[in-house]
Amino acid sequence: MAKQDTTEILDEILARVKAIDPVNTRKWFDDLHITAFDHGLMQIGCPEQSCAEFLQDHCLTTFTQAAQNITGHLVSVQFMDMGDQPAAGITAIAEKTGRFRLHPDYTFNSFVVGPCNRLAHASCIAISQSPGMIYNPLFLYGNVGLGKTHLLHAVCHDACKQNPDISIQFLSCEEFINGFISAIEKGNVQEFQNLYRTVDVLIIDDVQFLREREQSQEEFFHTFNALYNNRRQIVLTSDSAPQDLAKLEDRLISRFKWGLVARLDAPSYETRIAIIKKKAHLRGLELPDGVAELIAEHIKTNIRELEGALTIIYATAQTTNQSITLELARQALGVQEVTLSKNVTLSDIIRMVSDHFDVRITDLQSKKRSQSIALPRQICMYLARNLTRHSLEEIGGHLGGRDHSTVVHACSKIEHLYKSDTDFRDRIDKLSTHVMQSA
């Protein structure tokens, strides 16, 4: 079949896949190409091995259906890695990283660096360039959804690129424990030990699960020593700092602190916006102005939820056949429903702000212009705009007989402060929560 034809067929397939399965669509789908199409077998070449595996795991059915609909024939689809090997079998990287498949989204490139994760990111880059030489072990910790597992995948991607012959074992702590238990049952503990004690890099995710597993701790202790003494890289993650891992043996805790311990914190407002934009870009999505800001204002602690919000917005747009707008995003996230359903009134807001700033209600509703009154009054306007359905005129009318342009000005001033000043933002967030709770 002519190249022209296969390009057209693939374009049509991709358009259909994008419509059926927006959640799994990625920008790099544009780099796919049909390498062969013969006797009902369509082979699709991928830019990276992990991409072929991702497609095999998440998109095989959609691609197959789309290919059949478009060609009108029974087609089986195979995703090929860079060496033109099908992704289905155990591939070189899959072998190197144990049974673990690397996620193509989780690279250093797609990781947004901010004050919350700078050290963790820099140390992961350093160890992927010279494993075993700099920080050993590297211990990353932080709450759920802050990017620990993402960084581990990125280390594997990079280390494999730097040195294609490197041997890596990357597994969750539970897999380590279960593997050990099954090795005992099957009587092949020696084999288990050889597997983990001889690699160049051992990565174990979520080591907090070693708590209360005495025998596994003992095994892990010896694995750790063997690797450490041979200057092999060890990377661990956990939900808490080594010293806070209660019920873990002291000798393990002290070893965790031998190298570098790096904490991941919740991202700031700016970092959240950058992450949302990066994720949207990865999926080939255009976000209109204000949508990333809307998501970042409402989801503050867990990055996985930021992505979830993006998915909901995207899926809502697809299913209702609309393009993404700020209004659609608001509806999709239920932002308006959540806040407005509480029936917040202007008087609630004025009362709360008066308490919070210790100014009189009558002053807020007067024409006085002193700074100590003007700022709380502007905050009232901002909150009323966000939490009630009152018009600009009504809001202005209640707050000293101002016209609508004064309210617009107040809202944009407070919004600017909200975005640029963390303390101020916290204060406003608390106030909004209070108002909603008391309504």
Residues at the site binding ligand ADP, with contacts judged by CB under 6 A: 106, 110-112, 117, 142, 144-150, 275, 278, 303-304, 307
Please give the Cα distance from 20 to 152 (Å, whole number). 31
In angstroms, give the least distance from the CB of 148 to Mg ion. Answer: 5
Is residue 169 involved in binding Mg ion (CB under 5 A)? Answer: no
Residues of this chain, 129-148, that bind Mg ion according to CB under 5 A: 148
What character string, x for contact with Mg ion (CB under 5 A) and - otherwise, covers 180-209?
Answer: ------------------------------
The site partner of 278 among ligand ADP, Mg ion, none (C-beta below 5 to 8 Å per kind) is ligand ADP
* Residue number with CB closer to ligand ADP (197 or 300): 300
Q: Name the phi and psi angles at 169, rounded to 5.
A: -115, 125
Can you tell me the distance from the alpha carbon of 415 to that of 330, in angstroms, rounded to the nearest whole number? 17
Residues 6+ apart with CB under 8 A from 289: 326
Closest approach of ligand ADP to the CB of residue 112, in Å: 4
Q: Look at residue 389 and give the partner it binds from Mg ion, ligand ADP, none, a contact being a CB closer than 5 to 8 Å depending on partner kind.
A: none
| Contact partner, 147, from Mg ion, ligand ADP, none, Cβ < 5-8 Å per class | ligand ADP
Helical pair 326-333 and 303-319, crossing angle rounded to 10 deg: 110
Shortest separation between residue 205's beta carbon and ligand ADP, angstroms: 7
CA 405: distance to chain centroid? Answer: 39
Residue 35 corresponds to which amino acid? T
Q: How far is CA 95 from CA 91, 167, 195, 308, in A?
A: 6, 9, 12, 31
Q: How far is the CB of 105 from ligand ADP (least distance, A)?
A: 6
- For residue 116, the surrounding DSSP H or E stretch is none
Q: What residue 112 binds from ligand ADP, Mg ion, none (CB within 5 to 8 A, per partner kind)?
A: ligand ADP
Q: Which helix (H) or strand (E) holds 170?
A: strand 168-172
Helix 422-438 vs helix 404-420: crossing angle, to nearest 10: 120
For residues 147-166, which are near Mg ion according to CB under 5 A? 148-149
3-state secondary structure of 155: helix
Q: Which of ligand ADP, Mg ion, none does 303 bind, CB closer than 5 to 8 A by kind?
A: ligand ADP
Task: Give the residues lining the site for Mg ion (CB under 5 A).
Answer: 148-149
